[in-house]
Amino acid sequence: MCGIAGLAGDFEDAHGRDLVRTLNHSLALRGPDAEGLESWPGAVLGHRRLSIFDLSELGNQPMLSRTASRSCVQRSHLQLS
């Protein structure tokens, strides 16, 4: 099972990244295979990954749009057909 951490609001960027990084580390047992962290003004998303179906790096999160203006994290799998 994976782990998700995030923060939204009015905070200093470095403080928000540090806080979510700490939260991510506390979720290490839920997702020991990979760790991701992305931030924007007013938001930070973190993810811990447990690789089950897709063992490649293509499943690492947070997932970003091509312009990196949008992102998502999820705790499940996507099946594309």
Beta strand pairing call for 63-64 and 43-49: unpaired
pTM of the model: 0.78
pLDDT of residue 81: 62
The 10s digit of each residue's pLDDT in 35-75 is: 999 998 999 999 999 888 878 888 888 888 899 888 888 87
pLDDT of residue 78: 65
Letter for the amino acid at 48? R
- The dihedral formed by the CA atoms of 47, 49, 55 and 56, expressed in degrees to the nearest 10: 20
pLDDT of residue 17: 94
pLDDT of residue 72: 83
Coil vs helix vs strand at 64: strand
